[in-house]
Structures are given as structure tokens and as C-alpha cells.
Amino acid sequence: MRARPLLALLAALASGAAGCTSEDARGSAPPAAPRASDQGAGAAAVAAVAAAPAGDPARGERLVAELQCNRCHDGTGQAPAARDAHCVQCHQDIAAGRFQAPAAAMKRWNENLVQLRDVPSLAAAGDRLRRDWIRGFLLSPHDVRPRLHATMPRLAIGPEQASDIAAYLTRDRREGRERPSAPLEGASAARGRELYEAKGCGTCHAFSGAAGVTAVAPVKGMEKETRAAIALAPDLRHARDRMDPADLVAWVLDPAAIKPGTPMPQVPMSPAEARDIAAFVVTAELSPRAPASAPERLPLLSRRVTYAEVDRRVFRVTCRHCHSEPDYALGDGGPGNTGGFGFKPRGLNLATYEGIAAGYVDDQGERRSVFSRGPDGAPRLVAALLARQAEEAGRAAPAVRGMPLGLPAVGPEEIQLVESWIAQGRPQ
């Protein structure tokens, strides 16, 4: 449960002892860093945009404003979103006790506050991330930070728009920073693996597919800074796709010099050690990802299901954050009702029985029912919930945007509840 429907969703490093090294342990340069796109969820998108134009930063800047990226992300180059419209700031204020609300409500919210307490800043993206990776990720978001509950939502953009946004976010790359042509020359991936463990990189980072590396620590109970570092730490499986080797070396050596304010600490090490760690990260053999599958769809319930139960277990928990009553939410019904994040106003209010019955507004301005059935026989509302499960399994449906947008899929039991309620005639 989170604070107000207005304060919607969207969106989404290690500590340890210093080690020593010996130049004698270094071998010849490791092989060129293999790209892992074919092993990740973004493979199709990366291939689709390989021949895309370089992008127009000016158009990208306008798109970043239109898509309201600043409602979740800092470092967009835009003015910060208003406090009561900033999805992450709201949750951070609740967690810190700064939010103006009755004590009983604050206590209840904090007991259940999980989502959107930490979101990565986009500052210095050009000094950290490959432009083509950003472009592919925007078109086919996938889970890069396994300790964050929220993920990047699937926005209503195409390849050209994604290219423009990527060009804008990487526009300020500091070209003057020294970038060696062979940044991993003389580095030892074997020594890098030893340093990865000695420096405690696994305290925060997952490295899925790499055999035998230390597992990340639990997030709960950590100090605020450590919790944020772990939550925002990317799975290093994606590093070879996301970063050029030279940028990775510079980042490992001194992250705050690249991105001031980053929660990733500066771990004491020499430049040679940074190269070794980078060599391990970008050349480690990775096992193929196990094929993901959506949960099995459960049969309809035979017992009576009422709106009150569906509202308590599903609509009120997640859906109201984007599909709310504007009068209750300070005039903003969320992107699924009054519009936002680049989405048109659809007038879908899931905060009341009457609002749900009124349906949504289609592209022609006509009211449509969320209970109408699609080609597969599933009611439109159920189809959106099932589509989010499919997105998490890496099988996005172009015709149906999964809901809840950018948040974990609703579970099979909750979908079963919604579908059973609809099948029973939607009793109150």
C-alpha cells in the first residue's frame, strides 16, 4: 500500500577491504568484451535498433519533458517535478516521516511501503552508458536491478523517439576525459575475479550467470545509504552491454568523479586493479538465462466474489495509483485517468465501482468497457494484468500494455479473483 493515488508509480556499489596485487599476476589483454544481448531480455530491441538513426538531442529533450521522466528520475536536465507529483519523493518523504499526514496513516503506509523508494538518477548517463543500449532498453525494458521492485515502464514510443531520447541523455559526455584505446590491455580477468571477491563487490551486485560469485546481501535492516546502494546496484551480467570497457574502468575506480552523489562507494584500489575487475566483469563466461514463463492461469472460483474483496486485494493495492478519482487526488487522477508519462487521458477510474463500470475512453473519444472480451476471450481488464506477467517473462504483447505499469505483475490468485468477479456479473 502506498500513499496517495496521485503520487503514482514509475519509474528503475560495494564495500570491502582493500586488496593488493602483483604485476606478475597479469597476463596478456583479455579478449574483446563480448556483448551479452543475445542472452538478455533486450536482445530483440537491440537488434531492432541497430540501424536506427543517431537521434536528435533537441527532440529528445522535448520528449523527456513530455514523458515526464522527472516525476521519477533526477538528472533529466529538466526542472524537478512538483513535490506532490514526484512519485519517488513522496515515498521517500513517507519513509523519512516528512510527509504531512495523520500519524496512524503514516504508520500504516510505512509498514507496507516497498515500491519506489529508490530510482536511478540519469545524471552523467553519457559518461556511463552506451547510447545504443539506452535506445534498446527504452524500447524493451527489462530487469536490470534485481533488488528494485519497480522496473522501467514500457512507454508509448518508437525507435526514432528512443534514438532521440538516448541522444539527449548522452549529449553531455565529457569528451575531454582520457579514454584509452585499449583500456583492458595487460589486465587479468583471473586476478579480477579474485579482486571482485576481496573488494566485496557481491555485497551489492548480483552477477547472474557467473558461476561461484558471492550472492548479494539482504536489503532489509541496512542503513539508508547501504540499502539504497544495494537496491540500485545493477546485475553485472548487463555491464558488457551497458558500458564501454574504458567507462567501466573509470567508474569502478572512482564512481563519484563520474556521477557525484552516487550511492556506489569509492572502494580503494589502484588503476591496474580497476582494469582487472573490469576485465572479469566483461569477459566472464555467463551461463544462458533459463527461459522465463508466465504463471499458470488459474480456473474461475466457484465461491462468490464481491467488488469489496476485489477492491481490497487488487484495485486499492496497486491500480488506484494510476487510475484514481481526481477530486480525491488533488486534481490528478493519475496517468491512466487524467493522463501522464506520455499517455493520453483515458478516463479510467478504478477507485470506485461506478468508475470501473464507466470504462475508458478510446482513441476516437468513445467510451469502452474494460469488461469487453478480446480475441482470446479474456476481458480487457484481465488481459492487461496477464500482459504484465508476459512482459516479465520477456514476451511483451505489442497490442496490450501490461498493468500495473512498471511494477511487479499481479499474482495468479489476484487475477483469478478479478476474472471470477467479472464472470459472476461483477456483484458489489
Q: Hey, is 389 helix, strand or coil? A: helix
How far apart, in whole angstroms, are the C-alpha atoms of residue 247 and residue 35?
Answer: 15
3-class secondary-structure state, position 178: coil
In the 3-class helix/strand/coil scheme, how is the chain assigned residue by residue?
Answer: CCCCCCCCCCCCCCCCCCCCCCHHHCCCCCCCCCCCHHHCCCHHHHHHCCCCCCCCHHHHHHHHHHCCHHHCCCCCCCCCCCHHHCHHHHHHHHHHCCCCCCHHHHHHHHHHCCCCCCCCCCCCHHHCCCHHHHHHHHHCCCCCCCCCCCCCCCCCCCHHHHHHHHHHHCCCCCCCCCCCCCCCCCCCHHHHHHHHHHCCHHHCCCCCCCCCCCCCCCCCCCCHHHHHHHHHCCCHHHHHHHCCHHHHHHHHHCHHHHCCCCCCCCCCCCHHHHHHHHHHHHHCCCCCCCCCCCCCCCCCCCCCCCHHHHHHHHHCCCHHHCCCCCCCCCCCCCCCCCCECCECCCCCCCCCHHHHHHCEECCCCCEECCCCECCCCCEHHHHHHHHHHHHHCCCCCCCCCCCCCCCCCCCHHHHHHHHHHHHCCCCC
Structure letter (DSSP) for residue 243: S
- Residue 220 has a pLDDT of 55
Q: 40-49, 261-270, 294-303: which has the minimum mean pLDDT?
A: 40-49
Residue, of 189 and 106, whose pLDDT is higher: 189
Per-residue pLDDT of 206-230, as tens digits, reads: 999 999 887 665 555 456 667 788 8
pLDDT per residue as tens digits for the range 151-200: 899 999 999 999 999 999 999 876 556 666 778 999 999 999 999 999 99
Geometric angle at alpha carbon 88, from 409 and 138, rounded to 5°: 60
- pLDDT higher at 219 or 338: 338
Among 402, 93, 385, 126, which residue's Cα sits nearest to residue 251? 126
What average pLDDT is seen over the chain? Answer: 83
Q: Which residue has the higher pLDDT, 181 or 350?
A: 350
Q: Which of 304, 322, 299 is nearest to 415 (CA)?
A: 299
For residues 340 and 71, give the distance between their C-alpha atoms in angstroms, rounded to a whole number: 10
DSSP 234: P
Percent of the chain past pLDDT 90, that is, above it, reads 57
Q: Which three cell numbers stand for residue 295?
A: 504463471
Banded model confidence at residue 364, pLDDT cuts 50, 70, 90: very high
**Cα separations in angstroms, 312 against 51, 289, 320, 341, 369:** 48, 36, 11, 26, 22
Output the pLDDT for position 138. 97
The CA-atom distances, in angstroms, between 224 and each of 71, 128, 233 are 22, 24, 14
| pLDDT surpasses 60 at 2 | no
Nearest partner of 196 among 216, 208, 181, 213, judged by Cα: 213
Q: Which residue type is seen at 264?
A: M
pLDDT, mean of residues 6-11: 33
Is the pLDDT assigned to residue 91 strictly greater than 60? yes
Half-sphere exposure in the Cβ direction for 36 (13 Å, CA): 28
Q: CA-CA distance, 310 to 341, in Å (whole number)?
A: 27
Confidence of residue 110 (pLDDT cuts 50, 70, 90): low
Q: How far apart are CA 360 and CA 323, in angstroms?
A: 10
